[in-house]
């Protein structure tokens, strides 16, 4: 995890298995509540906490949590400094959930629904706490529910209206950050609309899996226990890369949010990669060929370092984490691969910056060796 004050300072003792937190996002009326009800019904033998994160509840000190257990729903309260989880001091929101679990017992799942107009990024960062910090909860994945009937107009118009805008509409961010996308309400659209919608969604986020649903009915194995932020998911990166590559060059939509993949054959020095990450996430040095500043929304990849070690890298906005891989190393394909989703990303510019960081890292190493 990156350093400094972004890291929530958790002090509570961790339970053996941290409880997975699934963020359910999606535009207004897309079918998020329908999905929550479906999960609660299907998983009635599990203990599930459902939290609705709404903004603008500044005066409330408590947030209602619905707890589903043995087919019954009851209400509990989270003690917060204000009513919005991601607006409260970072570790406060997580701590409030941990306090609730010490009172009510451990949950099997925590489902967090964001309001339709919300960017799920801040709340994802809040729960994406380093397991070494001893949290009782961990971010499992982000599901974006899309209303197939209305999304095409919304996404298409937004992409076309704001090709070089500095702001990114929340509906686009929701798709960009998703690990899995439910194309819901497919009963209301014909095949050609569905194909066109998939093309738009793929043009934003080419790595997430897309599942078509009616009334949000989905195989729960596809959306729960995803482990999207765990190194155990590293072998999926290649599957995602193949998804992205199969789509590359197939869209002609003029837009500024897209998915780009990078590959490096030789092992990378850690200092070179640190330098690259620092420049793209924190120093905003990356620009497109027209000079527009790029923004990385999400990154995932598998890195093979020059010393032979392999790590999974992930980021959500400016927060990133390396997880060293220790199992199944022989199954990891050679080289390094990174998937980036963000604004004003161009493969040529990204490759140029990455190679510059690799070259300057190698140059520095040669200098040091020369004076040894
Ligand atoms: N025809 C059709 N209607 C659906 C489907 N899924 C959900 N709905 C209906 O769409 C409406 C909105 O669904 P919700 O689950 O409340 O959507 P939401 O995303 O929670 O809505 P907000 O909380 O307002 O953002 C409800 O009337 C649902 O019954 C579907 O697949 N097909």
CATH number of the domain residue 299 falls in: 3.30.1220.10
187 CA: nearest ligand 1 atom: 32
The answer to whether residue 341 scores a pLDDT higher than 90 is yes
Q: What is the pLDDT of residue 309?
A: 92
| ipTM score over 0.85, yes or no | yes
Assess whether the C-beta atom of 170 lies below 6 angstroms from ligand 1: no
Top-confidence residue, 158 or 18:
18
> Could you tell me the distance, in angstroms and rounded to a whole number, from the CA of residue 246 to the centre of ligand 1?
32
- One domain, residues 182 and 48: yes
pLDDT at 152 (0 to 100): 83
Residue 61 Cβ < 6 Å to ligand 1: no
CB of 184 within 6 A of ligand 1: the answer is yes
Residue 300 pLDDT level (bands cut at 50, 70, 90): very high
Any domain includes 2 = no
pLDDT at 331 over 90: no
Is there a single domain that holds both residue 150 and residue 255? no
33 CB less than 6 Å from ligand 1? Answer: yes
Which domain-ending residue is among 188, 222, 256? 222
Q: What count of other Cβ atoms lies within 10 Å of the Cβ of residue 59?
A: 7
Determine if residue 225 is left, alpha or beta; phi over 0 gives left, psi from -120 to 50 gives alpha, anything else beta: left
Highest mean pLDDT among 109-118, 149-158, 188-197, 320-329: 188-197
> Is residue 158's pLDDT more than 90?
no
Torsion angle, alpha carbons of 267, 271, 274, 275, to 10:
-110
228 domain-assigned: no
Instruction: Give the residue among 23, 300, 18, 2 at the shortest CA–CA distance from 138.
Output: 18
> Do 181 and 211 contact (CB within 8 A), yes or no?
yes
Q: Tell me how far CA of residue 244 lies from CA of 226, 250, 255, 276, 277, in angstroms.
A: 19, 10, 17, 22, 21
Paired strand residues for 183: 146, 212
On whether residue 289 sits in a domain, the answer given is yes
Q: What are the tens digits of pLDDT across the range 161-208? A: 565 666 778 888 999 999 999 999 999 999 999 999 998 899 889 999
Q: For residue 46, tell me if it sits in a domain.
A: yes
Domain assignment present for residue 183? The answer is: yes
The answer to whether residues 23 and 162 belong to one domain is yes
Ligand 1 nearest atom to the CA of residue 214, by list position: 31
- Predicted pLDDT at 6: 44
Q: What is the predicted pLDDT for the residue at 357?
A: 94
CATH of residue 203's domain is 3.40.50.300
Please tell me whether residues 211 and 276 are part of one structural domain: no
Structural domains counted in the chain: 2
Cα-Cα-Cα-Cα torsion 219, 222, 226, 232, nearest 10 degrees, comes to 120
- Ligand 1: nearest atom to the Cα of 28: 25
The domain boundary residue, chosen from 222, 255, 283: 222
Q: Structural domain of residue 110, as residue ranges?
A: 19-56+73-222
Residue 82 binned pLDDT confidence (cut-offs 50, 70, 90): low
Contact 171, 27 (CB under 8 A): yes
332 with 212, same domain: the answer is: no
Are 100 and 218 members of one domain? yes
Domain check: are 266 and 359 in the same one? Answer: yes
The order of strands in the sheet holding 62-69 is 72-79, 62-69, 48-53, 109-114, 19-26, 137-147, 180-184, 209-212
12-26, 32-46, 254-268, 333-347: which range is least confident on average?
12-26
Would residue 81 count as lying in a domain?
A: yes
Whether the per-residue pLDDT at 10 is higher than 50: the answer is no
Q: Which of 28, 33, 113, 216 to mutate to test the pocket of ligand 1 (most atoms within 8 A of CB)?
A: 33
Going by C-alpha positions, the residue among 355, 318, 288, 342 that lies closest to residue 1 is 318
- Residue 203 and residue 260 in one domain: no
What pLDDT band is residue 212 in, cutting at 50, 70 and 90? Answer: very high
Tell me how long the chain is. Answer: 372
Ligand 1 centroid vs 346 CA: distance in angstroms? 36
Query: What pLDDT shows up at residue 253?
Result: 55
CA distance 31 to 19: 24
Q: Tell me if 182 sits within 8 A of 31, measured CB to CB.
A: yes
Residue 220, pLDDT above cutoff 50: yes
Q: Rounded to 5 degrees, what are φ and ψ at 289?
A: -65, -15
Residue 66 lies in a domain: no
Mean of all residue pLDDT scores within the chain: 82
Model confidence at 1, in pLDDT bands (50, 70, 90)? Answer: very low
Residue 217 shares a structural domain with residue 246: no
Q: Averaged over 6-12, what is the pLDDT?
A: 38
| Residue 7 belongs to a domain | no
Nearest partner of 240 among 298, 188, 294, judged by Cα: 298
DSSP H stretches of helix in the chain: 32-42, 90-104, 121-127, 148-161, 170-177, 191-204, 236-247, 270-277, 347-370
Confidence band of 230 (pLDDT split at 50, 70, 90): confident
Let me know whether 288 and 334 are in one domain: yes
pTM of the full structure: 0.86
Burial label for 155, CB within 10 Å (0-12, 13-18, 19+), is buried
Q: Both 156 and 281 in a single domain?
A: no
Copy the structure tokens of residue 334.
Answer: 């050679």
CA separation (Å) from 9 to 6, 89, 107, 112, 149?
9, 10, 22, 21, 43
Pick the last residue of a domain from 162, 192, 222. Answer: 222
Rounded to whole angstroms, the Cα distance separating 372 from 360 reads 19
**Ligand 1 atom closest to 35 (CA):** 15
- Comparing 26 with 161, the larger pLDDT belongs to 26
Same domain for 215 and 325, yes or no, is no
């Amino acid at each position: 995890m990156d350093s400094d004050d972004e890291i929530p300072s958790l002090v509570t003792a961790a339970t053996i298995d941290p409880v997975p937190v699934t963020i359910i996002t999606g535009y207004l009326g897309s079918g998020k509540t329908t999905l929550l009800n479906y999960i609660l019904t299907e998983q009635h033998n599990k203990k599930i906490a459902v939290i609705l994160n709404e903004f603008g509840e500044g005066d409330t000190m408590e947030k209602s949590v619905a707890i589903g257990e043995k087919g019954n729903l009851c209400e509990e309260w989270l003690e917060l400094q204000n009513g919005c989880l991601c607006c409260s001091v970072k570790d406060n929101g997580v701590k409030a959930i941990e306090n609730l679990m010490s009172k009510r017992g451990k949950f099997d799942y925590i489902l967090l629904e964001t309001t339709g107009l919300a960017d799920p990024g801040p709340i994802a960062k809040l729960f994406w706490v380093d397991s070494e910090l001893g949290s009782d909860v961990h971010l499992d994945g982000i599901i974006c529910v899309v209303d197939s009937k209305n999304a095409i107009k919304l996404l298409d118009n937004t992409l076309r209206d704001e090709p070089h805008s500095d702001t990114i509409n929340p509906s686009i961010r929701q798709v960009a950050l998703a690990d899995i996308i439910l194309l819901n309400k497919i009963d209301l659209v014909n095949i050609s609309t569905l194909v066109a919608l998939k093309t738009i969604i793929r043009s934003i986020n080419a790595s997430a899996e897309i599942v078509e649903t009616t009334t949000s009915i989905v195989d729960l194995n596809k959306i729960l226990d995803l482990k999207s932020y765990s190194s155990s998911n590293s072998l999926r990166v290649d599957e995602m890369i193949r998804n992205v590559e199969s789509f590359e060059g197939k869209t002609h939509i003029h837009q500024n949010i897209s998915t780009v993949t990078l590959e490096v054959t030789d092992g990378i020095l850690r200092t070179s990669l640190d330098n690259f990450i620092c420049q793209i996430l924190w120093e905003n040095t990356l620009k497109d060929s027209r000079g527009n500043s790029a923004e990385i929304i999400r990154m995932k990849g598998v890195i093979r370092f020059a010393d032979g070690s392999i790590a999974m890298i992930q980021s959500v906005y400016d927060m990133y984490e390396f997880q060293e891989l220790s199992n199944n190393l022989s199954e990891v394909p050679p080289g390094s691969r990174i998937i980036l989703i963000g604004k004003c990303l161009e493969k040529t510019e990204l490759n140029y910056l990455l190679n510059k960081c690799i070259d300057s890292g190698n140059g520095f190493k040669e200098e040091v060796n020369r004076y040894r």
